[in-house]
Every structure is written in structure tokens, then in C-alpha cells.
């Protein structure tokens, strides 16, 4: 059965219908700025926005699956407006067991051969620091890991203030005996 877009998305017709359907949401969000709006209402609005965001993600996955099916059936890319959709098959390669691989390489190659097999970030610096501290040799860390800082300039478009959602579990807190900065 072929459905018309206007049947599925009644707000997709004229632009004013879309704006009218979203306007109450925009008004509810604007109410969050009012200090007199109770926090439970603010939390409810936040919950609804999160729900809508999840649903949009589900719709996008379903759309992508449908596009894959369509492109596979027709055997060619699909162009929609100024966007083209096509299929790719990216390849991901992951070492199954770094310890076993290192052991195998050490058994079969000389040290220079093993070195050629290593990636630039082969060792986890944080885990290595902990391991070296655990065996009482933290000074070895500084011999094998170099910390570099590079001053960079980033430019971003000027926008209104943006609210970032902060997970308090990741806020850096002062350690015992240290003052707050």
C-alpha cells in the first residue's frame, strides 16, 4: 500500500501548519526560563523533548533501513533534492587479543619487526601509569610517554548562550587537601 506523505505527516503540508503544530512546544520551552515555572513542569518538558529526540532517532534508523532496501532493489544511488544516498561497506579491523598478538609477534619477529607492527597509540597511557605505579616504578612512565601541549585557535560562529547538559559524575572535583580553583 502506497501512502501519501500528507496522510502520514499532516504537518508537512503548508509551512504555517508545521509552525502552528510546533508553537505550543516552543511556548512550553520558553516557560522553562521563567523562575516561577515549577521545576516539575520544567522536568516534564525536558522529559518530553528527550522522548521526541529518541523517537526521531528511531525514525531515522527505520528510514535508513528503508533507503538501504530501496537502493539495493534498484541497484543505484538515490538522489533527494541536493542530497544523494548510496551504499558503502566500511571495513573495521580490530585486534582480538593485544596480549596474545604481542606474544606471537615477539616469538616470531625481532624487536624492530614488532615495533613496525605497533600503532602510534598502542599503549593506553592511563592504564600504563597505574600499572607502573602499582609495581613502584612511576618514573618509568615519564621515560616512555611524552605529554605535549599545543596552543591552537578555534573559531566558532557567535550564537546566543547555549545550555550544556552536564553529567555531574564527570565534574572534576578538588582532591582531599586541595583548594577549589
- Please write the tens of the pLDDT for every residue from 86-124: 888 777 777 788 888 888 888 888 888 888 888 776 777
CA–CA distance, 132 with 139 (Å, rounded to integer)? 8
Domain that holds residue 109: 98-144
Cross-strand bridge partners of residue 79: 84
- C-alpha to C-alpha distance for 45 and 100, rounded to whole angstroms: 51
In a domain, 132, yes or no: yes
Q: Is residue 164 part of a domain?
A: no
- Which pLDDT belongs to residue 38? 93
- Check whether residue 78 and residue 103 sit in a common domain: no
113 and 81 within one domain:
no
Q: What is the mean pLDDT of residues 128-135?
A: 84
Whether 31 contacts 41, CB under 8 Å: yes
Amino acid at each position: 500500500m502506497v501512502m501519501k506523505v500528507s496522510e502520514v505527516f499532516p504537518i508537512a503540508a503548508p509551512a504555517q501548519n508545521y509552525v502552528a503544530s510546533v508553537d505550543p512546544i516552543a511556548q512550553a520551552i520558553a516557560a522553562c526560563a521563567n523562575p516561577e515555572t515549577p521545576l516539575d513542569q520544567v522536568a516534564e518538558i525536558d522529559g518530553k523533548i528527550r522522548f521526541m529526540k529518541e523517537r526521531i532517532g528511531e525514525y531515522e534508523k527505520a528510514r535508513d533501513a528503508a533507503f538501504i532496501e530501496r537502493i539495493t532493489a534498484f541497484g543505484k544511488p538515490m538522489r533527494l533534492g541536493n542530497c544523494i544516498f548510496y551504499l558503502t561497506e566500511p571495513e573495521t579491523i580490530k585486534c582480538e587479543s593485544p596480549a596474545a598478538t604481542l606474544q606471537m609477534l615477539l616469538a616470531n619477529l625481532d624487536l624492530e619487526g614488532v615495533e613496525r607492527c605497533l600503532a602510534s597509540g598502542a599503549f593506553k597511557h592511563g592504564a600504563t601509569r597505574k600499572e607502573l605505579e602499582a609495581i613502584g616504578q612511576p618514573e618509568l612512565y615519564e621515560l616512555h610517554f611524552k605529554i605535549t601541549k599545543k596552543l591552537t585557535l578555534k573559531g566558532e560562529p557567535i550564537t546566543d548562550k547555549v545550555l550544556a547538559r552536564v553529567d555531574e559524575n564527570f565534574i572534576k572535583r578538588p582532591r582531599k587537601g586541595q583548594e577549589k580553583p
